[in-house]
Amino acid sequence: MSRRARLAVASFYVLLLGAWEVYGRLAYEPGKLLPPPTTILRTLWEMRDAYLRDAWVTVQEAGLGLLVGVVLGLGIALLVDRFARMGEGIYRLALVLYSVPLIALAPALVSALGIGLRSKVAIAALAAFFPVVVNVTTALRSVDRRVLELGRLLSVGRWRTLRFMRMPYALPALFAALKIAGPAAVIAAMIAEWVGAERGLGLALLYAMFGFQLPNLWAILLLSTLMTGFAFAVFEVLGRVATPWHASAQRGER
Amino acid sequence: MAGTDAIRADAVSKTFTIGKESFQALGEVSLEIPERTFATFIGPSGCGKSTLLRILADVIAPTSGEVSVFGRSAAQAREERDFGFVFQDPVLLPWRSALANVELPMQLNGIDKAERRARALELLDLVGLQGFEKALPAKLSGGMARRVAIARALTLGPRVLFLDEPFNGLDEIRRQNMNAELQRIWLETRTTTVLVTHNVSEAVFLSDRVFVMGRNPGRIMAQLEIDLPRPRTIETMTSPEFVEYDRELTALLRTAYEDAEP
Ligand SMILES: Nc1ncnc2c1ncn2[C@@H]1O[C@H](COP(=O)(O)OP(=O)(O)O)[C@@H](O)[C@H]1O
Ligand SMILES: [Mg+2]
């Protein structure tokens, strides 16, 4: 983006926020949809201890869920790669599992695994594993045939061909998947908390909703958006650092 | 079996089958390449040069016929790391530096780090790439990437080096420079080498023996021994002997093209 374009975008947002602030101040009464931004920020500040504690719980759930999901997703991708025939079946099953709406699956999992950490991790993992399966499977399939021929010439076994020559090719695709899976895990953890939890940002959301506390709802919305945005940004940066050779990491160069 | 042949192909053929269609890329090809020879396949594109080269190196299996390398099967020779192979494109791993790409075959063969590093540096030196050890393939020019690929092919001290149009797409002067470089490397190592090209003067400049190939199906139509002293230089290329070989090979190649027309 040119500097002028960036300036235009920034001023658009400032104007929007300004208009919102003015509208909120003029028309706001408790229980209405749009509290002014300054009220939302003040609420966030006043509630910071409670909300940060809640957010930390959610982050832990999402983080663990993401970890489990990625391990699961990689495992499935490798199985699909190794056993073509059986892999097709596993891939379909994963697709079916992923197609079940989380909000429908969550009550069952919470009932079965309890309202503690385990159900949250399971649900976050279910949201996170599929992008990894799809991206990594596709990337492994599309490795240059000549690279495989190089492996054959060097008389490298299947495992080491995978490790030294094919997996690195799939790394950018894995990071692309993580940019989707990370935010998805946060959202899934909140949905799981919504269904039943002792702590967490999803639960705080539920309380604020039933208390008709709109500034609190907006404050939590803001905080959770920051969390998903952060989850995206982390993998964007990590991806660039880990695969500096990849075209998408070389923006602006050459 | 004669001990002086590095490679023997005996009635090798290849038929590709895609779905219900089958296509005979190679007829029955037989040939001998003596040890420490620089041999070249030349012919119209699509006549099966790459296919033949890949069969000799056991990258793909022939439909019928046999290949032996130093008295063993091609598969055995490949498994015993007899081959170095340079593909038509360099096929470097983009996340590895030039140095690490050259180290790859040694790393995969469990050679320890210090030793493989030293050897890789030596080879990058040999192909004239000192100073570019740390460069990623994306930062190398086409010619440099090809030289990295050549260095990589030489790492395990192959007994046979296969080169599939390694200088394709380079401009004429770069090609000549690379040819001179290749000859220098060959004179230093005396590795039995099989080159694929469709450039006549490149074939004459580098080879001891040239196989002229024709199409439909792919086969060897003529064989020419190039008896010019080495090292050959830019001056050699203007000598009457060189010009005569060039003319003769061009005539043979022309026949191969004419034969190939329907
Ligand atoms: N894997 C393959 N499957 C089907 N046809 C192939 C395959 N490889 C090569 N061919 C065909 O075999 C013929 C010879 O190919 P190739 O050996 O690459 O020719 P050259 O290297 O002389 O240009 C071509 O017609 C090509 O289309
Ligand atoms: Mg070819």
Ligand 2 center–CA A101 separation, angstroms: 52
Burial B24-39 (b: 16+ CB within 10 A, else e): ebbbebebbbebebbb
Q: Which chain A residues contact residue B79 at CB under 8 A? A: 155
Asked if B79's CB is within 8 angstroms of A165's CB, the reply is no
Task: State how far residue B115 is from chain A, nearest Cα, in angstroms.
Answer: 18
Ligand nearest to the CA of B213: 1
Out of B81, B87, B93, the one facing A155 most closely (by C-beta) is B81
Q: Give the chain A residue whose CA is nearest to the CA of B92.
A: A147
What local confidence, expressed as pLDDT, does residue A181 receive?
97
Asked if B138's CB is within 8 angstroms of A243's CB, the reply is no
What local confidence, expressed as pLDDT, does residue A157 receive?
86
Q: Which residues pair with B161 in a beta bridge?
A: B84, B193
Out of A156, A245, A246, the one facing B108 most closely (by C-beta) is A156
What local confidence, expressed as pLDDT, does residue A66 receive?
98
What local confidence, expressed as pLDDT, does residue B118 receive?
95
What local confidence, expressed as pLDDT, does residue A91 receive?
87
Out of B83, B89, B109, the one facing A146 most closely (by C-beta) is B89
Low-confidence ranges of chain A (pLDDT < 50): 252-254
Whether the CB-CB separation of A90 and A80 falls below 8 Å is answered with yes
What local confidence, expressed as pLDDT, does residue A88 receive?
84
Ligand nearest to the CA of B218: 1
- Reported ipTM: the value is 0.84
| pTM for this predicted structure | 0.84
CB atoms within 10 A of CB A240: 16
Helix (H) or strand (E) holding A230: helix A214-242
Q: Report which protein residue has its CA nearest ligand 1's atom 2.
A: B16
Q: Give the chain B residue whose CA is nearest to the CA of A160.
A: B108
The span from the CA of B118 to the CA of B17, in Å, is 45
Whether the ω angle into residue B231 lies within 30 degrees of 0, i.e. cis, is yes
Give DSSP secondary structure letters for A146-160. HHHHHHHHTT--HHH
Distances (CA, A) of B75 to A181, B15, B116: 44, 19, 25
Give DSSP secondary structure letters for chain B. --TTEEEEEEEEEEEEEETTEEEEEEEEEEEEEETT-EEEEE-STTSSHHHHHHHHTTSS--SEEEEEETTEEHHHHHHTT-EEEE-SS----TTS-HHHHHHHHHHHTT--HHHHHHHHHHHHHHTT-TT-TT--GGGS-HHHHHHHHHHHHHTT--SEEEEESTTTT--HHHHHHHHHHHHHHHHHH--EEEEEES-HHHHHHH-SEEEEEETTTBEEEEEEE----SS--TTGGGSHHHHHHHHHHHHHHHHHHHHH--
Ligand 2 center–CA B169 separation, angstroms: 13
Exposed/middle/buried for residue B146 (C-beta within 10 Å: 0-12, 13-18, 19+): buried
The DSSP symbol for A200 reads S
Asked if A164's CB is within 8 angstroms of B94's CB, the reply is no
Task: State how far residue A81 is from chain B, nearest Cα, in angstroms.
Answer: 20
Domain ranges of chain A: 39-253
A12 Cβ contact partners less than 8 Å away, ≥ 6 residues apart: none
Give DSSP secondary structure letters for A26-69. HH--TTSS---HHHHHHHHHHTHHHHHHHHHHHHHHHHHHHHHH
Please give the single-letter amino acid code of residue A226.
L
Whether the CB-CB separation of B215 and B41 falls below 8 Å is answered with no
What local confidence, expressed as pLDDT, does residue B1 receive?
42
Task: State how far residue A155 is from chain B, nearest Cα, in angstroms.
Answer: 6
Token pair 């020779």 is at which residue? Answer: B77
Asked if A155's CB is within 8 angstroms of B78's CB, the reply is yes
Ligand 2 center–CA B54 separation, angstroms: 10
Whether the ω angle into residue B217 lies within 30 degrees of 0, i.e. cis, is yes
Ligand 1 center–CA B249 separation, angstroms: 23
Substitution target from A153, A167, A243 for chain B, most B beta carbons within 10 A:
A153
Asked if B91's CB is within 8 angstroms of A153's CB, the reply is no
Q: Which chain B residues contact residue A160 at CB under 8 A? A: 108
Ligand 2 center–CA B97 separation, angstroms: 27
Low-confidence ranges of chain B (pLDDT < 50): 1-3
**CA-based torsion, B180, B186, B189, B195: positive or negative:** positive
Q: Which residues pair with B23 in a beta bridge?
A: B16
Three-state SS letters, A137-148: HHHHHCCCHHHH
**Pair of tokens at residue A113:** 């695994």
- The architecture (CATH level 2) of A39-253 comes to Orthogonal Bundle (1.10)
Q: Which residues pair with B40 in a beta bridge?
A: B195, B210
* B50 within ligand 1 shell (Cβ under 6 A): yes
**Given 3.40.50.2000, 3.30.70.2340, 3.40.50.1470, 3.40.50.300, which CATH number is that of B1-82+161-170+199-262?**
3.40.50.300
Out of A153, A160, A250, the one facing B83 most closely (by C-beta) is A153
What local confidence, expressed as pLDDT, does residue A252 receive?
47
* Residue from B64, B37, B19, B80 nearest B193 by CA: B37
Chain A residues within 8 Å of chain B (Cβ atoms): 144, 146-147, 149-150, 152-156, 160, 164-165, 168, 171, 243-246, 250
Q: Which residues pair with B84 in a beta bridge?
A: B161
Total residue count of chain A as it appears in this document:
254
What local confidence, expressed as pLDDT, does residue B216 receive?
85
**Pair of tokens at residue A248:** 């998408």
- Point out the ligand 1 atom lying closest to the alpha carbon of residue B213: 22
* Residue from A28, A7, A137, A12 nearest A80 by CA: A137
